[in-house]
Amino acid sequence: MDILFWYWWVAGLLLLALEAFFPGAVFLWMGVSALVTGTLAWAAPGLPGEWALALFGALSIASFFAYRRFKPASRPTDQPHLNRRGAAYVGRTLTLTEPIVNGLARVRVDDSQWRIKGPDLPSGTQVTVVAVEGATLVVQAQP
């Protein structure tokens, strides 16, 4: 089985391109391993194909687990609710512009309309957001 060094380089570049479409660092390290295997096959032209495949497999697994072990920890952000807008409203006090009937209503919060769920209450009542269920804010009357 004769695998030329440039086959490894092409495979490595294809794996790196796949990483762009399916991020997760798996294809990244497989691509780097294929490039390293190609470079070693170029430096040692007599490297048997079976050994090159074994080297590629070992490098892929080792590099992936090394990345998982030594990757930088995620840093805390100054905007923890950036992609969870509803969670940012928990604890906020709102005034009902329409009554809650059969446990459901709509309310304007900042620049958007939100569906709210809670006990039946008349309009003008002050409520507090206590939880978020999907795209629905759960409210309760303020004491």
The count of structural domains within the chain is 2
Confidence band for 143, pLDDT divided at 50, 70 and 90: confident
**Do the domain assignments include residue 115?**
yes
Range of the domain at 137: 85-141
Confidence band for 82, pLDDT divided at 50, 70 and 90: low
Strand partners for 100: 121
CATH number at residue 89: 2.40.50.140
- The pTM for the full model equals 0.51
Type and span of the H or E element at 58: helix 49-70
Question: Of 35, 70, 105, which one is at a domain's C-terminal end?
Answer: 70
**Do the domain assignments include residue 80?**
no
Per-residue model confidence (pLDDT) at position 34 = 93
Strand partners for 32: none
Strand partners for 127: 94, 141
Whether residues 57 and 99 share a domain: the answer is no
Whether residues 10 and 63 share a domain: the answer is yes
- pLDDT per residue as tens digits for the range 2-53: 678 888 899 899 998 998 888 777 788 889 999 999 999 899 888 888 888 8
